[in-house]
Amino acid sequence: MTNNYSEALKSKTRNILDEQMITYDLMYHFKHETKGFATLDFMDLRDKNYILKHKNSDLSFKFSDIDELLDAGWVID
């Protein structure tokens, strides 16, 4: 999937996830050009379960790794 997010934002997303940087709410907040907004729980990331949970519905998006997540068009918000 192609998207209009900058390479810098994609790189920042990868760095945050690779380093498992702690956030204030233990959640990582993502955005997608057409699918909206989602979160990834720190514990899921730590366990290498890349499951984004949509913020406004019961949808979830599961990825095998960070590359697949980025290729699907998700980036840190």
pLDDT at residue number 3: 73
Q: What is the DSSP letter of 14?
A: H
Q: How far apart are CA 67 and CA 62, in angstroms?
A: 12
Beta bridge partners of 74: none
pLDDT at residue number 2: 59
Work out the average pLDDT over 10-22.
94
Tens digits of residue pLDDT in 42-77: 999 999 999 999 999 999 999 999 999 999 999 999
Whole-prediction pTM = 0.91
Tens digits of residue pLDDT in 26-47: 999 999 999 999 999 999 999 9
